[in-house]
């Protein structure tokens, strides 16, 4: 079986989504993994330890001072044997503890001793997920190499609709499997990714931009790195943290993004242009705030980054994104030809679940001879599919 001999420690914290983890434990066990479950006391209010013990075949640990222990110091012995540490559901409280180095129960103590990959699957109310405190903790953890499985959107246990649902069990199992048995098909390759929007200043206060969050580009960069690539991320305005280990060049304007892409282009084997740079800039920037009843701006065309790359790429592979609202297929194919791209990823941004600043996307992948329509899916899952297709070019 795929995960034979792998030791996976799963931490379950106090949330209604704890019941979903039963399916995760069962699936990982069926794949051949040795699964060890640690529960917080609050988690036992939602699922009894006996359930996880039956599914995993191993004793569940809750109490730091459990008298029914082995000779070894258990939180250390579990950490030593673990090939992967998963916390699902991960509450805001546990993320804060892990970020701050607090070790006041068996789960947090074990987490502090872990040297293996750590994966968190958050589940919480939308307002908690977007709070400044949680976001700060998430950024700290990502900077330390902790991996996150993005929560889903929908009806939450509190009755609200929004983002914060625990990812589905099959997605968690797939993510864990990919971390333990990563494809290394990009080893020795350099992938240059652009992400996010750009900002064109009008005056010291105002600027022209768009709603791009950079989520798709960052997801591609993260997955490419996991698959062995040397990744260079040219980042405009992005709203998501960038995992550690990825070379990053921050830019603000389209001209700056153009310069950065041209700087790193000689190193790249693949150029994935997932950014949404502004097409136009203000011809004359005002160094003082403009005060007027009406405002007329004269714009100038920004450099076309994809077209410039297409002219000089040689054997390098250029992948572009095309956000469309009408005549989508026709416009995307024309764009691919005009830019001399090898692949275009079409977004019909009029569809629910697609486009800018969402956690999901709906795309059609086109090459000169193929067309593949994909259903709505999380951008992290889509990133892997795109990389599968890109490596085949």
Q: How far is CA 300 from the centre of its chain?
A: 34
Q: For residues 203 and 188, give the distance between their C-alpha atoms in angstroms, rounded to a whole number.
A: 44
Q: Of 65-79, 206-220, 239-253, 258-272, which has the strongest mean pLDDT?
A: 258-272
Name 128's bridge partners. none
Residue 287 has pLDDT above 70, yes or no: yes
User: Would 7-180 and 190-391 be classified into the same CATH topology?
Assistant: yes
Instruction: Give the domain ranges of the chain.
Output: 7-180, 190-391
Mean pLDDT of the 2-17 span: 94
The pLDDT of residue 358 is 80
Instruction: Answer yes or no: are the C-beta atoms of 240 and 195 closer than 8 Å.
Output: no
**Which pLDDT does position 154 carry in this prediction?**
77
Question: What is the pLDDT at residue 275?
Answer: 96
More confident residue, 352 or 139: 139
pLDDT band with cut points at 50, 70 and 90 for residue 64? low
CA within 13 Å, CB half, 353: 14
Structure-token pair, residue 161 = 């609709």
**For 50-62, what is the mean pLDDT?**
95
Q: Give kind and range of the element (H or E) at residue 130.
A: none
Structure token digits, residue 113: 């001793």
Task: Please give the helix or strand (H or E) that residue 317 lies within, else none.
Answer: strand 317-324
Q: Do 86 and 176 form a contact (C-beta atoms < 8 A)?
A: yes
Q: Mean pLDDT, to the nearest integer, of 234-256?
A: 93
Which is it for strands 200-201 and 280-282: parallel, antiparallel or unpaired?
unpaired
Where is pLDDT greater, at 77 or 51?
51
Give the separation between CA 117 and CA 280, rounded to whole angstroms.
43
Handedness of CA 307, 308, 312, 318 (dihedral sign): negative
Beta-carbon-side half-sphere exposure of residue 253 (alpha carbons within 13 Å): 14
Q: Is the pLDDT of residue 50 over 60?
A: yes
Whole-number Cα distances in Å, 191 to 112, 136, 174, 181, 228: 33, 28, 23, 21, 10
Catalytic residue among 22, 116, 158, 328: 158
At 72 the pLDDT is 47
Q: Are strands 270-273 and 247-250 parallel, antiparallel or unpaired?
A: unpaired
The average pLDDT across 315-337 equals 95
Q: Which helix (H) or strand (E) holds 323?
A: strand 317-324
According to the model, what pLDDT value does residue 67 have? 47
- Helix (H, G, I), strand (E, B), or coil: what is residue 331? helix
CA distance 250 to 184: 27
Read off the pLDDT of each residue in 249-268 and give the average, rounded to a whole number.
98
- Helical axes 305-312 vs 328-339, angle rounded to 10°: 50
Whole-number pLDDT of residue 376: 86
- Dist. CA 29–CA 36, nearest whole Å: 10
Q: What is the pLDDT of residue 37?
A: 96
Lowest mean pLDDT among 127-136, 155-164, 278-287, 371-380: 155-164
Assess whether pLDDT exceeds 90 at residue 111. Answer: yes
Q: What pLDDT score does 355 carry?
A: 72
Model confidence at 232: pLDDT above 60: yes
Confidence of residue 73 (pLDDT cuts 50, 70, 90): very low
Please, which pLDDT band fits residue 354 given cuts at 50, 70 and 90? Answer: confident
- Predicted confidence at residue 71, as pLDDT, reads 38
What number is the average pLDDT over the span 308-324?
97
Task: Give the pair of three-digit tokens for residue 136.
Answer: 């700060």
- State which fold the 190-391 domain adopts: Rossmann fold (3.40.50)
Q: How many CB atoms lie within 10 A of CB 269?
A: 15
Q: Look over the chain and give the mean of its residue pLDDT values, rounded to a whole number.
A: 91
pLDDT exceeds 70 at position 69: no
Residue with tokens 């994809």: 306
Other beta carbons within 10 angstroms of residue 239's beta carbon come to 13
- Could you give the percent of the chain with pLDDT greater than 90? 76
pLDDT computed for residue 331 by the predictor? 95
158 catalytically annotated: yes
pLDDT in tens, 147-205: 999 898 877 776 777 788 899 999 999 999 989 988 899 999 999 999 999 999 999 99
Residue with the bigger pLDDT between 161 and 29: it is 29
Residue ranges in the chain assigned as alpha helix (H): 20-30, 49-56, 74-81, 92-100, 106-113, 126-129, 132-143, 169-180, 215-226, 254-264, 305-312, 328-339, 379-391
- Domain 7-180: homologous superfamily in CATH: Flavin prenyltransferase-like (3.40.50.1950)
What CA–CA distance (Å, rounded) separates 75 from 62? 11
Contact present, 212 and 356 (Cβ < 8 Å): yes
């Amino acid at each position: 079986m795929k995960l034979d001999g792998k030791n996976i420690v799963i931490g379950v914290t106090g949330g209604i989504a704890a019941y979903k983890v039963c399916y995760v434990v069962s699936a990982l066990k069926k794949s051949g993994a040795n699964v060890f479950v640690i529960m917080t006391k609050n988690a036992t209010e939602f699922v009894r330890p006996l359930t996880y013990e039956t599914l995993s075949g191993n004793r569940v640990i809750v109490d730091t001072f459990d008298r029914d222990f082995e000779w070894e110091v258990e939180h250390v012995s579990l950490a030593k044997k673990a090939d992967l540490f998963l916390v699902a559901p991960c509450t805001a409280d546990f993320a804060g503890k892990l970020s701050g180095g607090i070790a006041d129960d068996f789960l947090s103590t074990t987490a502090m001793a872990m040297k293996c990959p750590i994966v968190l699957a958050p589940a919480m109310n939308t307002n908690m997920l977007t709070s400044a405190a949680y976001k700060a903790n998430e950024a700290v953890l990502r900077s330390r190499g902790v991996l996150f499985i993005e929560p889903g959107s929908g009806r939450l246990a509190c009755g609200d609709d929004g983002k914060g649902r625990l990812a589905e069990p099959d997605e968690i199992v797939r993510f864990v499997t990919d971390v333990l048995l990563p494809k290394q098909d990009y080893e020795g390759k350099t992938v240059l990714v652009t992400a996010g929007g750009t900002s064109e200043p009008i005056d010291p206060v105002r600027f022209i931009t768009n709603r791009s969050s950079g989520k798709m580009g960052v997801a591609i960069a993260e997955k490419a790195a996991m698959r062995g690539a040397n990744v260079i991320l040219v980042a405009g305005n992005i709203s998501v943290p960038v995992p550690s280990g990825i070379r990053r060049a921050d830019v603000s304007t389209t001209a700056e993004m153009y310069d950065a892409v041209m700087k790193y282009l000689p190193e790249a084997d693949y150029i994935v242009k997932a950014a949404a740079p502004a097409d136009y800039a203000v011809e004359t920037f005002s160094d003082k705030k403009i005060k007027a009843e009406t405002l007329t701006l004269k714009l100038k065309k920004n450099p076309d980054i994809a077209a410039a790359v297409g002219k000089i790429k040689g054997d390098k592979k250029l992948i572009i994104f095309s956000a469309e609202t009408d005549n989508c297929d026709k416009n995307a194919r024309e764009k691919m030809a005009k830019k001399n791209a090898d692949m275009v990823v079409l977004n019909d941004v009029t569809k629910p679940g697609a486009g800018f600043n969402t956690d999901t996307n709906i795309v059609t992948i086109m090459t000169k001879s193929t067309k593949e329509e994909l259903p709505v899916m999380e951008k992290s899952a889509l990133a892997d599919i795109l990389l599968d297709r890109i490596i085949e070019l």
